[in-house]
Structure 1
Amino acid sequence: MTTTYLTLLLKHFEQMQIEVAAAGETEIGSVPLKPRETVYDKSRFLYIRSGRGRIWIKGREEELVPGILGILLAGTPHRIAVNPGEVLNVQWCHFHTSYGDREIYKALNLPYTVQVGGKAEVSSLFDRLIEQMAAAKPTSNLRVKALMLELLSVYLEHLPPEGQGAAPTQELQKIDVVLQYIDEHLADNITVEDLARQVFLHPNYFIMFFKSLLGHSPIQYVNHRRMEIAKSLLMMPEINVSDVAARIGMQIYYFSRMFKAHTGLTPSRYRKQALEIASACADPAEEA
């Protein structure tokens, strides 16, 4: 279910609006007392710059070593301990989102921590994030959001292979069935009732279930997939525009109108421009 896994992740993070509340760098020394459990009302990014320790999250213990990048949702109880004789240098930021993320984390079993490569690069992202938070320039908010998206990208790029660890949740299994059905029936007249029937849910509940994971209504997602498939088909010169429309189950006039709304170009214009770009990119390699 790799395609489903990536689809859900990317759709989620594409729509997630991020607002950073604070960012900084902290040194934590080892203490003999049992560390106190902490709960924040903001989500947290943690990056271990140096030192070694451990973190307990909902009863699970994980090692903290240089290069560990962690993400904790708001309201997640956790506690951190530092190994004897060590000092843990932690870069962090607190943020919240306007797009619900708890359900997607639950459905995909996303890990709390990942081991990342390019340690200097990741640490630099936090340095720049802290700098921009302190600068308070007119463009600081835009730069902060861009840096957060980079950090999220680093996290996503270092996720373990899907299927490693816990078995797919029931939610993921259900949405996988639905997404496969959509891709196999794009040429048909797909209804919400058809999709709900695949996973034995009432249509009204199914709409809420689907939107909680994909961020779109089922029909919005179906139309989006049709446009994405159409773009791929338009890159094949042997398939005319009418055939493209037929393959995704749309009348030519309606397809042309929706495609232009989606891309800003008519199907014919999109094909011409995309093929010209592809040809221009291929020419240097052919000359070499």
Structure 2
Amino acid sequence: MQQTTFWKKYMTNAQLDLSIARYTKVPITWAEDSYVPEFNKLYFIMEGEGFVKTNGKIYYPKPGDLYLLPAGSTQAYGTLNDHNTFGKYWCHFSSKVNDAHLFQIIQAPVFVKPRDPELLIQKFKQLIFYSEKGDLSSGFRIHSILLEIMADFIEQSQDIQFDSRTVPSFEKMDKILQYIESHLHDSLSVEELARIASFHPNYFISVFKKYTGLSPIQFINRQRIERAKHLLLFTDQSVSAIADSLGMEVSYFSRMFREQIGFSPKNYREMISRSGATNTKKKLRMDTEPDYFKDKTDLPE
């Protein structure tokens, strides 16, 4: 999967919104000939036989398959065996990046074989539980779980393509983000970046904020702090040397670092060092929640 600097930053603006999640043993009447939904659908097949059709191609899902049917695609589905219909976890959700549907921007495969089916089952059970619970914290949990499911889907997809036609100014913005990344040590100005993009400075600020969620100066400072965090963790450079490598006075660098991270650079390094991160350099792993979601709810989707 080709990942430019632009796409990696742009995709962080993705907004996912769950409308419903359930487990269903579908009836023999489960069928739709041809329609174009405004929402995405995930089907995790647990048992049975049936078919789905999207954009003219028909599929026969097997138990253990996770299907993604994107918004805006022409779809159909139905049963094949009156005595062995699908049993499946499923959900409907919207997904947008700015004003565009996520799956118009990225072209994903229709299905994958999850690496850890049991973990995926637990995530669907959590979606069902929190969607029915409906309290304030549930919205945060639902969003987090959906992001995890979609991240896993994308990681397990062999061929993800980006459609730059859906994103005006893609090439210019990608060029700008790459330029910023390679010139963090320079004194970058909005006027300079706007000139590179061939935009008026005011228009450039508006476009930049639309694609990154931050003003150019906020973004540059955020990237400098991320670079500094890496250098503090994985090198022995002094705080002064790190500040200098980012083209900043050490006092200003330390103050900005504390404002964004909550610790001084020195304290941040000491805290992480005590945790063993700089010695082991292990990847962080998220713990999954216990299996206490047992109930299944039947709906005819």
The normalised TM-score by structure 2 is 0.73
Cα distance per residue 1:90-117 (max 9 Å; x no partner): 432234579736276544x342634132
Between the aligned partners of 2:279 and 2:234, the Cα distance in structure 1 is 16
Corresponding residue for residue 148 of structure 2: 150
Between the aligned partners of 2:7 and 2:78, the Cα distance in structure 1 is 35
Between the aligned partners of 1:110 and 1:160, the Cα distance in structure 2 is 11
Corresponding residue for residue 286 of structure 1: none
Corresponding residue for residue 120 of structure 1: 118
2:8 corresponds to which letter in structure 1? T
Between the aligned partners of 1:178 and 1:195, the Cα distance in structure 2 is 7
* 1:52-201 superposed matches below 5 A: 52-56=50-54, 59=55, 61=57, 63=59, 65-66=61-62, 67-70=65-68, 72-73=70-71, 76-82=72-78, 84-85=80-81, 87-96=85-94, 100=98, 102=100, 105-107=103-105, 109-111=106-108, 113-117=110-114, 118-136=116-134, 140-161=138-159, 169=165, 171-201=169-199
Q: Report the CA distance between 1:187 and its aligned residue.
A: 1.1
2:117 corresponds to which letter in structure 1? K
Between the aligned partners of 2:100 and 2:148, the Cα distance in structure 1 is 21
Corresponding residue for residue 272 of structure 1: 270
* 1:22-33 superposed matches below 5 A: 22-26=20-24, 27=26, 29=28
2:41 is the alignment partner of 1:45: yes
Match of 2:125, SS state, is helix
After superposition, the CA RMSD in angstroms is 3.5
Gapped regions of structure 1 (runs ≥ 5): 284-288
Cα distance per residue 1:58-87 (max 9 Å; x no partner): x453635241331634xx243223374474
Contact 1:227 1:259 in 2 (8 A): yes
Match of 2:254, SS state, is helix
Match of 2:92, SS state, is strand
- More helix by percentage: 1
Gapped regions of structure 2 (runs ≥ 5): 282-301
Contact 2:43 2:91 in 1 (8 A): no
Between the aligned partners of 1:114 and 1:238, the Cα distance in structure 2 is 45
Between the aligned partners of 2:4 and 2:228, the Cα distance in structure 1 is 18
Q: Percent identity?
A: 25
Distance 1:104 1:180, change over 3 A: farther
2:1 is the alignment partner of 1:4: no
Match of 1:175, SS state, is helix
1:276 corresponds to which letter in structure 2? R
Between the aligned partners of 1:34 and 1:279, the Cα distance in structure 2 is 53
Contact 2:42 2:68 in 1 (8 A): yes
Contact 1:28 1:89 in 2 (8 A): no
User: Which gives a bigger RCO, structure 1 or 2 (Cα 8 Å, sep 6+)?
Assistant: 2
Between the aligned partners of 2:53 and 2:5, the Cα distance in structure 1 is 30
Between the aligned partners of 1:71 and 1:196, the Cα distance in structure 2 is 39
Q: Report the CA distance between 1:279 and its aligned residue.
A: 6.7
Q: Report the CA distance between 1:258 and its aligned residue.
A: 0.6
Aligned length: 270
Q: Report the CA distance between 1:184 and its aligned residue.
A: 1.2
Match of 1:2, SS state, is coil
The normalised TM-score by structure 1 is 0.75
